[in-house]
Structure 1
């Protein structure tokens, strides 16, 4: 639609040229700036997540635990430590005992590794150095996936912003054109068709 405005045309107005530049700038933003922003955001998120994953791998340990007994419904599940809210299907919870990497003994309520859980069953859980339950450390592939998603979101957001600005500018230009047309019509319209009016 805007290509003809770049050509020599007696009907081309200054606002047409400005609109064409706005469209060209938006196109450059979508094709060049948005991918660059997405790439930069993805690399930054990846670096942050990879650093967090390395720290988690050095601070979290997979230790053996033993089922002591099934957990009663009224038992405080907060004894499981700062592992955060559970996600996924509900699993049977058991009271388990484990030894922390620092040698201290612990006991708490944790999700059972197998169904049905039996006293004496052995399984492994993630803890910190002090023996508090923690979540599984972030692996490198998951960090890369989240970084790619973040980069794609940043690129799409930048492209959407550029197109939104272009649309707002074009809408404003159209509004101004209609105002000028209305003024020209009001000035010349009443004389159209009258004898001697020069029409």
Structure 2
């Protein structure tokens, strides 16, 4: 309902004003924030942490190998590197950032060039399939989840409304064609750990 109301408000503002680009951007941002279970401050803090980590990874030539996801100061590092030293460097970079509460290091050490373009494409298709299936469920706030797949292992981080929602998300991820394993770092909305 909030989504429909937000879109109607945005449409009304667009048709009644000459400031179309500003209003559209503001309406879209407001809608996204209203749908998430995080404050604007949390979203800004998480984005700042992610940008700083990615900037440091770029300096160390690790940016292309590692993906960074941040949820309420919790950093998830995933990807493949060819040496344990690179795995440790990435974790140290994450811990150095102000506001980081936890670092979850799921970076795998694998021989160089073992991931093919086909594997990367399959991982992308798995992620897209899960995201699409979550969007179609009225009892799941899909915007609260970050979903990534590496070597057909699905990683989830974010905020679940309750146990039933998380069970549904995990079930969808596990039943998606090609998935080997699902690893969840999702917290409940009312968890004391948040």
The interval holding the TM-score normalised by the smaller chain is under 0.3
Q: Please say which structure displays the higher CA radius of gyration.
A: 1
TM-score (norm 2): 0.20
Higher RCO by CA contacts (8 Å cutoff, separation 6 or greater): 1
